[in-house]
Chains A and B, each alone.
Chain A
Amino acid sequence: QQQVKQSPQSLIVQKGGISIINCAYENTAFDYFPWYQQFPGKGPALLIAIRPDVSEKKEGRFTISFNKSAKQFSLHIMDSQPGDSATYFCAASTGYSTLTFGKGTMLLVSP
């Protein structure tokens, strides 16, 4: 069964700190790895995505690190802000397949 395992389940970070969320996958055919951010009462919104031909992608304060041999990828949020408090989902897909999501990480950034 295709699975994406996400950790931690919840995370508390001080304002200005670095938030790190990790995901591991099993299916080596996965070739697209997006991260979604979801605020209460809203649908998930794409934050950043990576393909396995690169090991890192940075967009502003958000960075994805990708380790193909370990089948792991992670999201780093630099200089975390209270406005970043949300639930974050990693996901993976291959070809025309649909997104397989991790269970989510609730991030709280304390002021």
Chain B
Amino acid sequence: KAGVTQTPRYLIKTRGQQVTLSCSPISGHRSVSWYQQTPGQGLQFLFEYFSETQRNKGNFPGRFSGRQFSNSRSEMNVSTLELGDSALYLCASSNTGLNTEAFFGQGTRLTVV
């Protein structure tokens, strides 16, 4: 059974640019969550999608957005990048999202210069 796949693995962007990250969940999983991981703040929740609908949202500015497609694949977008957006962005998939095991991808390392 294939795991959670995140692409790309590494990205370098310039301040002011925008970026799109992709996540393919485990087959059959309908819930996809996104987290930002930084040394100072740890793992912080961005948003969760279930069956193409945003079900939960964290406390991040509107520059961070996401969507989920009918095949459960998800993308997140960050517009007008800031230096502070440099982080490891992790995607997690689960069957229903209800207190069930969440499987994480390896993440996308975003560096903003």
Residues of A within 8 A of B (CB): 31-32, 34, 36, 41-46, 49, 51, 89, 93-104
Whether B43 pairs with A95 at a CB distance below 8 angstroms is: no
Whether A104 pairs with B42 at a CB distance below 8 angstroms is: yes
Residues of B within 8 A of A (CB): 4, 33, 35, 42-45, 48, 55-56, 58, 90, 92, 97-99, 101-107
The 10 residue pairs across chains A and B that have the minimum distance between CB atoms = A43-B104, A32-B99, A101-B43, A103-B42, A98-B45, A44-B104, A43-B106, A43-B105, A98-B56, A46-B101
Residues of B near A36 (CB, < 8 A) are 104
Residues of B near A44 (CB, < 8 A) are 43, 90, 104
Whether A98 pairs with B58 at a CB distance below 8 angstroms is: yes
Cα A75 to Cα B48 in complex, Å, equals: 27
Contact sample, A vs B, 10 pairs, CB 8 Å cutoff: A32-B99, A36-B104, A43-B107, A44-B104, A45-B103, A95-B98, A98-B33, A98-B56, A99-B102, A101-B43
Nearest CB of A to B63, in Å: 20
Residues of B near A45 (CB, < 8 A) are 103-104
Whether B4 pairs with A43 at a CB distance below 8 angstroms is: yes
Cα A49 to Cα B92 in complex, Å, equals: 16
Nearest CB of A to B73, in Å: 17
Cα A41 to Cα B70 in complex, Å, equals: 30
Partner of A42, one of B48, B58, B106: B106
Whether B106 pairs with A41 at a CB distance below 8 angstroms is: yes
Cα A98 to Cα B107 in complex, Å, equals: 18
For A41, give the chain B residue with the smallest CB separation.
Answer: B106
For A31, give the chain B residue with the smallest CB separation.
Answer: B99
Cα A45 to Cα B105 in complex, Å, equals: 9
Partner of B56, one of A96, A102, A103, A104: A96
